[in-house]
Amino acid sequence: MVVRRVLVAIALLVPLGLAACGNDEPDKADAAPTAAPASSSPPPEPFVFEVGPVAGTKGLPITAEVETRVSGGKVTTVTLVDDKGKNIGGELRADGTTWVPGAPLEYNRTYTASVTAAATNGTPETKTTTFSTMARPGGGKVGSGLYLFNGKTYGTAMPVAVEFESDIPEAARASVARRLFVKSEPAQAGRWHWHSSRMVLYRPEQYWKPGTTITVRSALTGLPIGAKWGDTDRSATVKIADRSLVMDVDNATKKMRVLVNGQLVREMPVSLGKPSTPSSSGQLVVMEKAEQTVFDTRATDGPDGYRVDIQYAQRLTWGGEYIHSAPWSVKDQGVRNVSHGCVNLAPDQARWLFEQTMIGDAVIVRGTERVLQHGNGWTAWDVPWEKYGV
């Protein structure tokens, strides 16, 4: 089943001896010298403090950051002012290596950064540097999109998904990912991983904790990407649902188990893809939902194609695998697989499920003839954590 992919570009969207008292003539044992006790703590780390870019640097991209190299202390304040006296807001990276402006810098401008750091003993020091940005470049831009809608709520398996309209060269992917910022409350460490040359996904080690707030910034405006440039900045703040819902589909039993907060709430018979068009086994995510839609494969499948109205459709892959209502296969559900790769449910079951789920909910399919293809959908959870990373 082929359903047109739409790149969602939403204003969203990203490295320190004792003196004895006694007789005038003490005995020899008492007179023996006493060794000084060994120190129980190492000496403090030397305070080293440098800033960047190097003063006088010119032609920097507007994604330039203020470098804050400190050991034996920590940065306390950073200010950035342009040549018109305008203050630029921003914040330190979590690793303290740079200070990131909160918005793109302007082309062909000069900036002065002042950085104050304090040694471990509290002594402060301030250093400044001045640099200039490049003129507006020519050449094409790399279009990007962020699959998050500001203010919306998503399931606990929702990855932060950034997609690009053209291939990102492998040599540029680390610098692109470094300009993608994610914060979560409560804090949950995560990683970016490239699932294709056009898709990078961020996730924590386990599903998001219910009730988490996620703030994302895709800060790509003017970023050099091969021979092109990043198109724009995007940002979004979203919520994760206050419950965890997982749909667990087992080909051996031809059943779907729906678990909410780890508890089984319903079990339903299903029919999966027949041997010639098997469903994909793996860890998937609900990518979009449509109460009513049309599947039309005639353009790609020719005489074998079909057009059919579908209800309660929940997309799982870019290749066209869905969970949906299938009244024509009710007699097969729980018994045999007859679909073109989708997970078929009876109409009443499909409607009930549709009303419980949201985009970002987890789906696990087990035991089919096909393994989920890397990047065919939001396949973040199908990659083991030890292999997850840019």
Q: Is 374 among the catalytic positions?
A: no
Catalytic residue among 193, 195, 340, 342: 342
For 243: left if phi > 0, alpha if psi spans -120 to 50, otherwise beta; the answer is beta
Residue 37 Cα to chain centre, angstroms: 51
Q: Is 324 among the catalytic positions?
A: yes
Catalytic residue among 193, 195, 324, 340: 324
List the catalytic residues.
Answer: 324, 342
